[in-house]
Amino acid sequence: MVPQPPYPSSSLYPQPSSIQQSLPRNPSQLVDVIDIKNLTNRISSKDNLDPQVEKILALMADEFIRNTAEFACKLAKHRDSDTLEKDDVKFAIEKLYNIQVPTKPTQLDQSGIRTQQQINFPQASTNNYKANLALVRKANEQ
More confident residue, 68 or 32: 68
Whether residue 116 has pLDDT greater than 80: no
Whether residue 22 has pLDDT greater than 90: no
- The stretch 35-50 carries a mean pLDDT of 89
Q: 51-78 and 86-97 helices cross at what angle (nearest 10)?
A: 120
* Cα–Cα distance measured from residue 19 to residue 54, given in angstroms and rounded to the nearest whole number: 10
Evaluate the omega torsion of the peptide bond into residue 6 and state whether it is cis, within 30 degrees of 0: no
Query: Mean pLDDT highest for which of 40-44, 108-112, 117-121?
Result: 40-44
- pTM, two decimal places: 0.54
Domain limits, the chain = 1-102
Q: H-type helices in 44-118, by residue range?
A: 51-78, 86-97
Contacts of residue 65, defined as CB under 8 A and 6 or more positions apart, other chains included, come to 30, 31
Task: Give me the pLDDT at residue 85, please.
Answer: 92
CATH T-level assignment (fold) for domain 1-102? Histone, subunit A (1.10.20)
